[in-house]
Amino acid sequence: MKTVKAKIVLHNDEQVEVPILIPEMDAVRKLAAELHAHGQAWKGYFAGWCAEYSPERPEKPVDSNMSFTPADFWIGESEIWFYSLMWEDGREHEPVEFLDDSHLLESSASNLCGWDSLHSPQSAAAVL
């Protein structure tokens, strides 16, 4: 997991910056691959984020040229951090990935609050 800052727009258009934890992408991909291998619908939490997997279905999607409904996996929250996989070419092919991290401001925990390290006891002691 890594700590990053995210910009969140509130309903009154005020913007706030908050630290959040993002799971390692390899761990997310591994979970999606395991769920896909089992082929069973799943809904739950992973690393604190809502996530869902839906297996491939033979029905054609509404208003689509596709001949089946592809399997898909998603995790996150669309206005904060969101990642998805869709097996558009069929169950046996590699999925198409989509990552929306446009609301993230930093990629590391360093200097989130002007501290040397977010988890450093020395930094916490200096503040107290």
For 61-68, what is the mean pLDDT?
A: 89
Give the pLDDT of residue 9: 85
Contact yes or no for 79/103 (Cβ under 8 A): yes
Please indicate whether residue 120 or residue 51 has the higher confidence score (pLDDT): 51
Number of helices (H) and strands (E) in the chain: give both, helices first.
Answer: 2, 7
Query: What distance in Å separates the CA atoms of residue 34 and residue 57, rounded to the nearest whole number?
Result: 18
Lowest model confidence (mean pLDDT) among 5-14, 21-30, 86-95, 101-110: 101-110
Q: Model confidence over 69-121: pLDDT tens digits?
A: 999 999 999 889 999 999 999 999 999 999 999 989 865 444 444 444 444 44
User: Mean pLDDT, the chain, as a whole number?
Assistant: 85
Mean pLDDT of 30-54: 97
**Total tally of structural domains belonging to the chain:** 1
* Domain residue limits at 35: 2-127
Which residue type sits at 126?
A
What pLDDT score was predicted for residue 123?
Answer: 44
pLDDT at residue 122 above 70? no
Q: Are 95 and 112 in contact (CB under 8 A)?
A: no
Residue of 45, 28, 38 lying closest to 85 (CA atoms) = 28
Do the Cβ atoms of 11 and 34 come closer than 8 Å?
no
Answer yes or no: pTM beyond 0.75.
yes
124 vs 75, which has greater pLDDT? 75
